[in-house]
Structure 1
Amino acid sequence: MSQTVQQSLQSARQQLAQLVPTSEASIEAQILLMHILGVNRAWLLAHATDLMPENSVQDYAHLVQRRLQGEPVAYILGYREFFGLKLTVTSDTLIPRPDTETLVEAALQKIAGPMRVLDLGTGTGAIALAIASHAPQSQVTAVDASERALKVAETNRHSLQLANVSLLHSHWYTALAQQTFDLIVSNPPYIEAADQHLSQGDLRFEPLSALAAGEDGLADIRQIIAQAPGYLNQGGWLMLEHGYNQAEAVQNLYQTAGFAHIQTLRDLGDNPRVTLAQWLAA
């Protein structure tokens, strides 16, 4: 049976409203159809009464069913927009989220001149590539313990043609002997291992190793902070994304390690999300 663009959108919206709030269902229905037809939102509005090609109706229905089974939209599409960049995303990587843009903005405010930047646990390369594209004078090293994730990051680096980013297979600092940096950034795993959210929503589909970190969620953050002084230049900064309820604990870890000028920034939802500190000790 033939369907118009508008009818297809309405049907998908009604189905997706079983999974997400109505406002999100409407947006997701549009995003999935734009992907199938290769058009933008303005085209959908202008061609609402056009008949859908029969194969597109079937393809669209298939994507909607995948979403109804809980698969994240970013994995269905194979990409996600982050800080103005279109990034390839696969199930081997964490899906870049708007809250992480807070970390990128904080980093860019500290970069002046040809600084050396390290991104720990780069995943898709989102943070490293966003910094490199907006601070072309910087030299960015991005590491990840997952070789599959690094392949995704390399795909993104290549497509964005960013020559000031180098990728390295490393579990945190292990492959960085003798290297020091002016700025270290990371969005490490920080969810408690027993957190029920790990078995809900999009998180069910994302790599657990990129999400959970021990009983209190701070295992990786502890290691990153404790070892950071050996890889920071005098006056360098360490910036970490963390859980909404972890700011005080992270501040204490910085203080114990001897960092100064400790500050926590809030994300788009007004949650304490990024804590940064400066290394001044000899």
Structure 2
Amino acid sequence: MAEQYFSAEPTSKDVRRTLNVTLQGREVPVETSNGVFSGSRLDLGTSVLLREVPEPPSSGTFLDLGCGWGPVTLSLALAAPDANVWAVDVNERALELTAANARRNGCANVHVTRTDESGVPLSAQSPAVCEAMPDDLAFDVIWSNPPIRIGKDALHALLMAWLPRLKPEGGVAYLVVQKNLGADSLIPWLAGELGDGFEVSKYHSAKGYRVIEVVHNN
């Protein structure tokens, strides 16, 4: 593959196409393009995540880590219109698509933020659809199909940049990871790195994927 979906500024031609996908039990029109994750369909791992996770609370602050063109973001926003849903990605085209898909589907509660390659939000936000994220923002819910193919070290750094931002006393994250790409070894690693106050466990298995649950208890 000449260009990875986690390129910050894709060089492939931006050819927009419309898909109809089922999110939160309804048909949702979305735009996708080249140079973003799963640009021609709803990824199987994302489908597993969205099918198996419990419904989010009706309000709060939510995060889609590695948003791509926005299926997880849209699912969170549609499920909880009173929540603030933040979508983060390194890929500027992905962020433009997520913002456009949120507007198209009336999701005014979506905010998009660009990060650097280590997952840290950039102080100068571009493209124009992006918003600066408060440094102290904490999350009630994180849903993610994380970018496994960035490599183990980069993935570990990304997860440890965001999972500690779960709110104490009940903040919860759900991550979907292929079993053959290290899902089972990721669980004890996260438990060891996050330490006391966090519980990490396998929440569900389906179609070769694990859904990992991370709960911040105190």
Pairwise same-fold verdict (TM > 0.5): yes
- CA RMSD in angstroms comes to 2.3
Shift of residue 221 of structure 1?
3.3
Query: Secondary structure of 1:242's match?
Result: strand
Instruction: Please point out which of 129, 147, 164 is paired with 1:189.
Output: 147
Does 2:115 match 1:170? yes
Instruction: Please point out which of 272, 275, 278 is paired with 2:209.
Output: 272
Shift of residue 165 of structure 1?
0.9
Alignment coverage as a number of residue pairs: 180
Does 2:178 match 1:239? no
Q: Deviations over 1:179-208 (max 9, x none)?
A: 111111221221xxxxxxxxxxxxxxxxxx
Within-5 A mapping of 1:130-149: 130-149=75-94
- Aligned partners of 1:261 and 1:103: how far apart in 2? 16
- Aligned partners of 1:76 and 1:136: how far apart in 2? 27
Equivalent residue number for residue 37 of structure 2: 94
C-alpha contact (below 8 Å) 2:61/2:84 kept by paired residues: yes
Equivalent residue number for residue 150 of structure 2: 213
Q: Greater relative contact order (Cα 8 A, min sep 6): structure 1 or 2? A: 2
Query: Secondary structure of 2:37's match?
Result: coil
Equivalent residue number for residue 100 of structure 2: 155
C-alpha contact (below 8 Å) 1:82/1:98 kept by paired residues: no
Query: Secondary structure of 1:238's match?
Result: strand
Query: Secondary structure of 1:151's match?
Result: helix
Query: Secondary structure of 1:252's match?
Result: helix
Equivalent residue number for residue 81 of structure 1: 21
Q: 1:76 to 1:90 in 2, by over 3 A?
A: closer
| Structure with greater Cα Rg | 1
Q: TM-score, normalised by structure 1?
A: 0.57
Q: Deviations over 1:89-145 (max 9, x none)?
A: 1002112324312322444x2522312101111110110111111222322111111
C-alpha contact (below 8 Å) 1:225/1:253 kept by paired residues: no
* Percent identity of equivalent pairs: 23
- Aligned partners of 1:184 and 1:220: how far apart in 2? 19
- Aligned partners of 2:113 and 2:121: how far apart in 1? 10
Q: TM-score, normalised by structure 2?
A: 0.73
Shift of residue 147 of structure 1?
1.3
C-alpha contact (below 8 Å) 2:188/2:200 kept by paired residues: no
Q: 1:233 to 1:106 in 2, by over 3 A?
A: farther
C-alpha contact (below 8 Å) 1:145/1:170 kept by paired residues: yes
Q: 1:78 to 1:85 in 2, by over 3 A?
A: closer
- Aligned partners of 1:153 and 1:272: how far apart in 2? 24
More helix by share: 1
Provide structure 1 residue ranges, at least 5 long, that are not aligned to the other structure. Answer: 1-74, 191-211
Provide structure 2 residue ranges, at least 5 long, that are not aligned to the other structure. Answer: 1-14, 123-132
Which residue identity lines up with residue 278 of structure 1 in the other structure?
A: V
C-alpha contact (below 8 Å) 2:56/2:79 kept by paired residues: no
